[in-house]
Amino acid sequence: MVAERTLAGPCTAWPQDSAFIREVLDRIGDKWTVLVISTLGAGPLRYSDLQASVPGISQRMLTLTLKELERDGLLTRTAFPEVPPRVVYELTDLGRSLHEAVLSLAGWAAGHHGEIAAHRRAHEESGVGRAKTNQLLRKH
């Protein structure tokens, strides 16, 4: 009891927000989800166009991502019973609202990634600069 501890037993700083935060991140934190959502943000697309619009994605990942997004009600899948199959994917209102939320995050990134890059470079200079001067004392 040295002074006051802003501490907080097991998990109190972020009451139950942490659960929500992790929920979104588990949802959009993967490699492709936001790319697909952003792409569909411009309008409905069919499977093949989607694959062409999201550069490095494989069919496997595109299919899996779309399935999960459909399952969560973020987009709709519409299959037309035609001779050459045609399936169109489109964001739902829920999906569009997520898209906007993600865009605001992207806005933050656009506004600060320069700062981050600068800090990162500064650390590389003083940290990985010369492996000669630092044997075992490198703290700023």
Partner DNA sequence: CAGAATCCCCACGGATACTG
Partner DNA sequence: CAGTATCCGTGGGGATTCTG
Q: By the criterion CB under 7 A, which residues form the site for DNA?
A: 30-32, 46-49, 56-61, 63, 66-67, 77, 79, 84-87, 137
61 binds, among DNA, a copy of itself, none (CB under 5 to 8 A by kind): DNA
Which positions from 80 to 99 touch a copy of itself by CB under 8 A, shown as an x/- string? Answer: --------------x--xx-
How many Cα atoms occupy the beta-carbon half-sphere of 104 within 13 Å?
A: 5
Helix axes 33-40, 59-71, angle to 10 degrees: 70
Both tokens assigned to 62:
């595109």
Cα dist from 5 to 10, 16, 17, 81, whole Å: 14, 21, 21, 65
Contact between 128 and a copy of itself by CB under 8 A: the answer reads no
Q: Toward DNA, which CB reaches closer, 107 or 126?
A: 126
**Residue 46 backbone phi and psi in degrees, to 5:** -90, 165
Contact between 114 and a copy of itself by CB under 8 A: the answer reads no
17 binds, among a copy of itself, DNA, none (CB under 5 to 8 A by kind): a copy of itself
Identify whether the C-beta of residue 74 lies closer than 8 Å to the C-beta of residue 37.
Answer: yes
Both tokens assigned to 35:
């790319």
The SS3 assignment for 2 reads: coil
User: Could you list the residues that contact a copy of itself (CB under 8 A)?
Assistant: 5-14, 17-18, 20-25, 27-30, 34-35, 38-39, 41-45, 49, 52-55, 70-74, 79, 94, 97-98, 101-106, 108-110, 112-113, 115-116, 118-120, 123, 139
